[in-house]
Structure 1
């Protein structure tokens, strides 16, 4: 189960990263400012060194102008 959770975390982070590249042109400082977090958190998240809290998910979704549920769509522990 832990392996599946790690895969889901990686997929969610990849989805956020893809939108971040598209909407912020790879500028982590601007993205962190829009999210309302430290740039270090963004770097750690994208390097896979940190997980994403629900609060951070909602803040990132708002900065990316998408609904959190859109980022989570299709992710599931079940078959």
Structure 2
């Protein structure tokens, strides 16, 4: 499955750049990964399951690879110069 394009068979939550934008906007302060995922599911009114969690982990990997987030002491936060 190509997570960087949208087709009529995918939900919007399966699009990595869109979901990454939502996660990045949620990260206004340091959060643990569980807090971040819970807040994401609460805002989007969806249930956290294995498929959603897999997509969110891909989103975090994407954000980390482009240098938008960093990990410190088991917490995720926005990268600051």
TM over 0.5: no
- Structure with more of its chain in helix, by fraction: 1
TM-score (norm 2): 0.32
- Structure with more of its chain in strand, by fraction: 2
TM-score (norm 1): 0.33
